[in-house]
Amino acid sequence: MDRTRPETALARTRRARRVDRALALRYPDAHCELDFRNPFELLIATVLSAQTTDLRVNQTTPALFARFPDAEALAVANPAELEEILRPTGFYRAKSRAVLGIGQALVERFGGQVPARLEDLVTLPGVGRKTANVVLGNAFGIPGITVDTHIARLSKRLGYTTSDDPLVIEKDLQPLLEKRQWTMACHRLIFHGRRTCFARRPACGACPVAALCPSAGIGENDPVRAAAMLKG
């Protein structure tokens, strides 16, 4: 890319879509890395994923959902029992209060079912736009931009936004990507952030979009050393 002249909105959109196509080739298996079987499980797992890893959540949720398989069961959970199950995820007291509140709210206001509207989801305890868009995109097939730490970091590095505000980043990304690709584009960016474009030292020399990235060169540029850094 030409870094000597300002980028037009049209050029940025074209570049963003080229980046997404390149990442689709690099990560053809990109997907939500939280295990779930239905919208209820994905909602709870996403809330639990705050401040911990998807792997840790996936190790914890089988016991949780075996004991509390739906909103009705979760709504009447014993808080102490819930805390003990969720202890491995960290911040377990706050998370226990949140998921207990979610179960109760789903039963009281939504007939025990997870709503398929963002404006309803964000009224649930512990649920913001990020969690709501994860659920909408992956459980209901409704496209959404999910701004987690990886997407926030990569969006700035790729020159898609200058903001640190998740809502602003979401709005900046929306016109750059085809709406039908929003959910999958986010998965690909997250995969890239976890496997190549690391926070402290990205593997620039092994990056499939280095030629399209205004931040290319800030990390390890030697192809051999960069390739050795890749994860996954």
Residue 102 near residue 47 (C-beta atoms within 8 A)? yes
Residue of 174, 168, 161, 130 whose CA lies nearest to 148: 130
> How far is it, in rounded angstroms, from Cα 21 to Cα 19?
5
> How far is it, in rounded angstroms, from Cα 136 to Cα 59?
23
> How far is it, in rounded angstroms, from Cα 207 to Cα 219?
10
Instruction: Kindly report the length of the chain.
Output: 232
Half-sphere exposure of 14 (CA within 13 A, CB side): 6
Q: Annotated active-site positions, please?
A: 130, 148
Chain centre to alpha carbon of residue 224: 30
Residue 121 near residue 132 (C-beta atoms within 8 A)? yes
- DSSP letter at 115? -
Residue of 192, 149, 172 whose CA lies nearest to 24: 192
